[in-house]
């Protein structure tokens, strides 16, 4: 396991020698340490990225850059088991989920390798003008130096979502992973070193937000900030970026609804609702944590949801058969347990869960939790809990369900279950969210755009939309006529 900072193609120690403990959330015990960068290290990394951007990297063909991305994808796949286990030790998620994530990360690099190759053909577009004396074309060019700050819920996958399209576009990048889950980002740096990615193209700095993240946000040589995390931090980052008019893309939180209509298969609905809230311990920005169920099936649905939730195997993510691991940290456990207690105080009923599992004396575990009677003005209904906690409420009509679903400051995702195709299309069109799932919840594909409405963020990641995040657009117009140009009309 790596400990240093990866800057300008080399492993270096932080200028001030800072260290951070790495804790296994399944045990609460320290098992490693990593470097803690400060402003001096950030400046070193950004300077390296600027030098690389001023060099050959953005001048390479997309096909040449794509070759590096394909090599990175191949190395990730070759080490999938090893990297997945490291992800579990660092983050806590069950090993099958980690393997899924690491495989997706490799696929992300392959996908953007393909877009980099296509970029050579699509980089320049000719524009048809109404005046034949002029020709015009539009060129797409790499944006510059990117500062990327990623969260702890999908450590390597979130790194891939930003690093892969940025490199494909010809940008250089300084990646700052979450301090709680930095190990696989450091392994990505090691892989970049193995494939001989040019120095400075990818730099990885570890450390806490105030000492490493904030200097990256503030650095004058950073052209774009790409951030995934909480709305509160996203707002601060956006305000800081405004001082130097940095480009910004933000993927923030959500309080996503799941509408269950009375014509659906209840068993399938229960399965998808559980996947929508208990996958990754509910630590998912798009988690469908507000479940709205038609009143005619509400009682039966709730009964089955509770029965299935109580069957979930909880434990160390490396143990066979575990479906729900620990929360990522002691702080996150305290936040989730505190949110459950606050929900009780504000009138909600805890139908199941809400406690530490009896057989787990250490680690950051909480049972899958189902809340009912949740007041519409309560924090549990309105705010993101980011844990395995779901609120269930009945509705009487399609119009009421849509109104309740849209009554939120967030708009990342929404889901619905129905056997009526016309209703599915009608409701999907009415939901104010950037992602809508019909008869499912949480599937994500690298080819499709990811991002939200309202306070869930700005811009889109993934697909060609994620690639375009890292490009600038330049108009080049030429006067091609032999006629003298009249500067004014007499």
Active-site residue, selected from the candidate residues 97, 179, 211, 251: 251
**Tokens of residue 488, six digits:** 């004014």
Give CA–CA dist 397/423, Å, rounded.
Answer: 12
Closest among 382, 367, 365, 401 to 289, alpha carbons compared: 382
| Strand 410-411, strand 453-454: pairing | antiparallel
Measured between its terminal Cα atoms, the distance across the chain in Å is: 75
- Contact status, residue 462 vs residue 105, Cβ threshold 8 Å: no
- Contact status, residue 291 vs residue 304, Cβ threshold 8 Å: no
Give CA–CA dist 44/106, Å, rounded.
Answer: 28
Give CA–CA dist 148/169, Å, rounded.
Answer: 15
- Contact status, residue 48 vs residue 200, Cβ threshold 8 Å: yes
Give CA–CA dist 490/483, Å, rounded.
Answer: 17
Cβ within 8 Å of residue 82, ≥6 positions away: none
Give CA–CA dist 434/418, Å, rounded.
Answer: 20
Sheet strand arrangement including 247-251: 10-12, 5-7, 202-204, 172-176, 145-149, 224-228, 247-251, 457-458
Q: Identify whether 251 is a catalytic site residue.
A: yes
- The single residue listed with the structure tokens 């160390």 is 316
Closest among 247, 199, 191 to 75, alpha carbons compared: 191
Q: What are phi and psi of 354, to 5 degrees?
A: 90, 5
> Mind telling me the catalytic residues?
251
């Amino acid at each position: 396991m790596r400990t240093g900072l990866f800057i300008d193609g080399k492993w270096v120690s932080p200028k001030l020698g800072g260290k951070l403990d790495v804790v296994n959330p399944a045990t609460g015990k320290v098992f490693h340490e990593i470097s803690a960068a400060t402003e001096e290290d950030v400046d070193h990394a950004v300077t390296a990225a600027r030098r690389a951007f001023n060099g050959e990297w953005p001048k390479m063909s997309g096909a040449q850059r794509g070759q590096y991305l394909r090599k990175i994808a191949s190395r990730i796949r070759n080490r999938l088991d090893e990297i997945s286990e490291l992800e579990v030790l660092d983050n806590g998620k069950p090993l099958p989920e980690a393997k899924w994530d690491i495989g997706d990360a490799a696929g992300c690099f392959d996908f953007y390798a393909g877009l980099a190759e296509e970029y050579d053909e699509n980089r320049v577009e000719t524009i048809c003008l109404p005046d034949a004396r002029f020709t015009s074309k539009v060129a797409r060019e790499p944006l510059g130096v990117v500062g990327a700050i990623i969260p702890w819920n999908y450590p390597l996958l979130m790194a891939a979502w930003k690093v892969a399209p940025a490199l494909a576009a010809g940008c250089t990048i300084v990646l700052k992973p979450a301090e709680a889950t930095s190990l696989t980002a450091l392994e990505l740096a090691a892989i970049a070193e193995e494939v001989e990615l040019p120095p400075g193209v990818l730099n990885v700095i570890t450390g806490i937000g105030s000492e490493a993240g904030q200097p990256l946000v503030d650095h004058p040589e950073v052209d774009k900030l790409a951030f995934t995390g909480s709305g509160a931090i996203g707002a601060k980052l956006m305000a800081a970026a405004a001082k130097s008019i940095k480009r910004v893309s933000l993927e923030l939180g959500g309080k996503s609804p799941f509408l269950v209509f009375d014509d659906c298969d209840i068993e399938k609905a229960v399965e998808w609702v559980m996947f929508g809230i208990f996958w990754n311990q509910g630590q998912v920005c798009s988690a469908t944590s507000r479940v709205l169920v038609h009143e005619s099936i509400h009682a039966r649905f709730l009964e089955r949801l509770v029965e299935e939730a109580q069957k979930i195997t909880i434990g160390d993510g490396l143990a066979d058969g575990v479906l729900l691991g620990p929360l990522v940290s002691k702080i996150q456990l305290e936040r989730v347990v505190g949110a459950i207690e606050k929900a009780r105080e504000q009138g909600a009923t805890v139908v199941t869960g809400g406690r530490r599992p009896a057989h787990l004396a250490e680690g950051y575990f909480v049972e899958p939790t189902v809340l009912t009677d949740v007041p519409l003005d309560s924090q549990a209904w309105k705010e993101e809990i980011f844990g395995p906690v779901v609120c269930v409420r009945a509705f009487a009509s399609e119009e009421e369900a849509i109104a309740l679903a849209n009554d939120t400051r967030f708009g990342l995702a929404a889901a619905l279950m129905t056997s009526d195709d016309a209703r599915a299309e009608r409701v999907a069109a009415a939901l104010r969210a950037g992602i809508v799932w019909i008869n499912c919840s949480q599937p994500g594909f690298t080819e499709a755009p990811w991002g939200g409405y309202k306070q869930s963020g700005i811009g889109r990641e993934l697909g060609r939309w994620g690639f375009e995040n890292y490009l600038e657009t330049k108009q080049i117009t030429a006067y091609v006529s032999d006629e003298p140009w009249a500067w004014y009309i007499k």
